[in-house]
Amino acid sequence: MSHRRHRAAAALGALALALATVVVSAGPVASMPAASATDPGVPPWRWKTEHSQKWVGPGETVAIQTYCRAGYLPLTGGWRGEYVVDHVYTDPVFRAYHSLELVESFSDFTDRYYKVEVRNTGDVHARISTTAECVHPDEVSGFVTAGSWFKRDKAGRAGGTVTCPAGFGVIGAGHEWSAAARHRRIDVSAPLPVGDGWYASGYSDQRRDRLWIEVECLPDAQLGGEQYAFVEKKTGGPRDFLGPVVCPAGTRILTVGVSARRAGKAWNPAVYAGRIAVIDEESAGGPTKLKATIDQLPQRAEVVVRAAALCIPVAQPRLLFDPSPPTGTTTSRDVSYTFYAQDSAGEDLVLRCWLNGFRQPASWCTSGESHTLTGLLDGTYTLRVDAENTSGQVASQSYTWTVAGAAGRATAG
């Protein structure tokens, strides 16, 4: 929800790895051919992810602002709650905590932060982790907003649907209450299945309170084929589990939500008057999965709950070896390689290198530098490099070769 209004694995491999060393030479020997700004049909968005954490005590309300780096805007965000259930030595063991109510959430484009306000309705301290998904403003040109106030009814509920202008698709939504209240929350909030608007509703004990719902929209042509993915089920009662929703390969979650309908009735989120814990947006598999937990369902009511995601195409990382490790058999105990990692949209990359299944230090795994493995013993070796971008897309490349007849030959013990 978003935006504020206004503003080496076998014994031989292990032995060889213990004896081998790596030499890093600064400076590339070649360069990866320049990529276009984006892959065909993919929005050229350089996603940057920022994180924040705060603790909230029983009965307390906490507001968390997660700031984007300079020059970036918070397009959307997510949050989750956890509590400590045990310790392993001195390290805490966390478990998902669902006795939380979302009060409001939005992105502030003026001050570049994503805000979540959460109330702890349980009896233990909880850690709230938030995520801001940020993009460069040049990559979301044509951005427009639409919003509306919804009055609180006699039962204390307020909510409704806000849609984007024709030819625009929704990229997120935000909600704020107009008045301070002892008890207010957002119960359900989700994108519409056609991807052109948003429904949200909540409860406030302030008689004159109103709920502001705002959608943020981009021209359809800029969304590169936005897709709607969902999972739904008839609930089995409080603490029932729903999910995960998984975006198709080559896409990531743009924004997410959860809504409900009465069993046997047409899909109409407005008829639901219970409460559903907000989707665990950030923790369930990163930017490609999400989960939801149902909480405090009305008694004697059969409710179908839907967790939904809008999925957007994303750029893919690329890997190039030049020179690459050998293939086949070699008598050399020294093997040199250089790899280049690049994301076609300019997203940050996390690089991981593996030799015979063992994760290698960062000094062995730098893009654009010449690396030399020295002192290899006779045996078979597999080098694999993974490059993962901020959107969770991974490029992987591996080479396997055999050292045979090398000087200083060793055998497995």
pTM (two decimals):
0.71
Query: Which tokens hold the place of 123?
Result: 């009896």
Has residue 67 got a pLDDT over 90?
A: yes
pLDDT tens digits along 295-310: 545 444 567 777 788 8
pLDDT average, residue stretch 355-381: 91
Euclidean distance between CA atoms 216 and 372, whole angstroms = 50
Strand stretches in 89-221, DSSP E: 91-96, 100-108, 113-120, 126-135, 144-151, 157-163, 168-177, 184-191, 197-204, 210-219
pLDDT at position 339: 95
pLDDT tens digits along 133-152: 888 888 777 889 999 999 98
The letter for the amino acid at 17 is L
Has residue 282 got a pLDDT over 50?
A: no
DSSP secondary structure string for all residues of 307-320: EEEEEEE---EEEE
Bridge partners for 23 per DSSP: 372
Bridge partners for 168 per DSSP: 219
Euclidean distance between CA atoms 257 and 278, whole angstroms = 8
The letter for the amino acid at 309 is A
pLDDT tens digits along 153-207: 888 888 889 999 999 999 888 888 998 777 888 888 888 888 899 988 888 888 8
pLDDT at position 315: 79
Euclidean distance between CA atoms 35 and 9, whole angstroms = 35
150 in Cβ contact with 203 (< 8 Å): no
Q: Calculate what percentage of the chain has a pLDDT beyond 70.
A: 75
106 in Cβ contact with 147 (< 8 Å): no
292 in Cβ contact with 242 (< 8 Å): yes
Higher-scoring residue by pLDDT: 15, 39: 39
12 in Cβ contact with 320 (< 8 Å): no
- The alpha carbons of the chain give a radius of gyration, in whole angstroms, of 25
